[in-house]
Amino acid sequence: MSRHRLLLAALAVLAGAAPLVGAAQDHATDRSQDRVQDQGFATAQLSEPTRRPPADVGAMKTSFSPVVKRAAPAVVNVYARRTVRQRVDPFWDMFGGGVPRERVEQSLGSGVIVRPDGVIVTNNHVVEGGQEFMVVLHDRREFPAKVLLADARSDLAVLKIDTGAERLPTLAIDDREDLQVGDLVLAIGNPFGVGQTVTNGIVSALNRTDVGITDYSFFIQTDAAVNPGNSGGALVDMDGDLVGVNTAIFSRSGTSSGVSFAIPSAMVRRVVESAVGGGQTVVRPWLGVKSEPVTAEIARSLDLPRPEGVLVADVYPNGPGARAGLRQGDVVLSVDGGAVNDTAGLNFRVATKRPGDTVTLAVLREGRQQTLKARVEPPPASPAKEEHTLDGQNPMNGAVVANLSPASADELGLDPFAGPGVVVTRISGRSYAGSAGFRPGDIVREVNGRRIQSTRDLLAALGEPARGWAVTIERDGRLITGQFRG
């Protein structure tokens, strides 16, 4: 769905090893700790940590075992199964004699129990395309699972298993964002289907936004060994709390090269909350601003000592940012104290909030820093979608189109500032529109010189008698015109 999915071949998403064909209370830190129940799943509330290197050789012989004992029982294996029909011999198909065979494909990933009633979080790409799902607990018991919510944009999915009245072990979601580069972490999952495995490493980097894995890129990078099958598994800190969900590796071979990425627990919490609240999708708020990174050149033009923050390029009329007083030319430095240095970082920090939350923005305006309060809300869904499947003798026959609004643009990974227009949401089956080259996400701008601002405009333009059609679309910010015969 997202344009960010066009990655370098070196970036391997850990979608559960190679497909398996066939049916086949000690702490390492000095933190004091309390646990509470929030929204039904455990939450870590910790004091400011004390960090120090090992004091002597004896300290270097300490073990991660207490952390593993606490965390490992809450990490599970996730199996997704689907049945596909496969041709036996294409030659006999031409004469109607080919009998397709059914083949069962099974993929493997990992997951984390985040609520004692059997709510489990994993990666969306682990369950995507699956028809049946099975969860294997730490003690080897197996349970069928159902998908409560699958969110491709964050690459997270929430599953539910039924264990009756039994309370399962859980990992507390630590979303306080106090991780620092150099902190020790453990990765727990099921690489290559060999069984639950624990590896250790350090946090190599934070807030990675340029790796192109999901729409909301803001990853924890670690050097803990992570391999196919680890997808959806836990990244835990030295208190045994969940700080991230392992998602992808950067590798030229498809195996661990010491560069892996995890989705931060702040996003994990937001998706889980949506799922247990009965939502079928994650409703994300936005700030209503269009931004760009502050480059060295921009920093010089603004008399900034160094490049930092994001420059507000546009403000949506009457949006949350506009009502908060944001203006074009402002530099947003942080959201609720969390620094932002690019658009992806700004979007992530806002997207982890609940609709209706108030965020504190540190803003630089004309050399002065000031604080603004913004009440973030979902993008407006106006105009109404008015979705139509196009038919008739025209080049867009078979395309499903809808009115473009900030909400529909955000849902499709498009620019919410794209303005009024009509967007192709999908192509139905084998259709002329698909053969003609139209794609989901295309914005129809003109038909035979007529400006298109609504589905009504498009239906009227395509319904007019014509010997041919000149259709102009916007794709990835570029205007493309196609000529089609009548």
C-alpha count within 13 angstroms, C-beta hemisphere, residue 346:
26
Q: Are 37 and 170 in contact (CB under 8 A)?
A: no
AA identity, residue 65: S
Exposed/middle/buried for residue 443 (C-beta within 10 Å: 0-12, 13-18, 19+): buried
Catalytic: 32?
Answer: no
Angle at which helices 265-276 and 343-351 cross, to 10°: 40
Q: Are 347 and 359 in contact (CB under 8 A)?
A: no
Taking the CA atoms of 230, 64, 203 and 268 in sequence, report the sign of the dihedral they define. Answer: positive
Catalytic: 125?
Answer: yes
Instruction: Given the residues 107, 117, 154, 155, select the one marked as catalytic.
Output: 155
Rounded distance, CA 114 to CA 244, Å?
A: 12
Interstrand relation of 450-451 and 443-447 (parallel, antiparallel or unpaired):
antiparallel
Instruction: Given the residues 204, 217, 231, 431, select the one marked as catalytic.
Output: 231
Rounded distance, CA 7 to CA 213, Å?
A: 8
- Helices of type H across 12-121: 57-60, 65-71, 90-93
SS3 250: strand
Cα dihedral value 448, 450, 452, 458, nearest 10? -60
Instruction: Given the residues 107, 125, 260, 405, select the one marked as catalytic.
Output: 125
- Which of these, 142, 137, 138, 221, lies nearest to 185 by C-alpha position? 221
The DSSP call for residue 276 is H
Catalytic: 231?
Answer: yes
Return the active site residues. 125, 155, 231
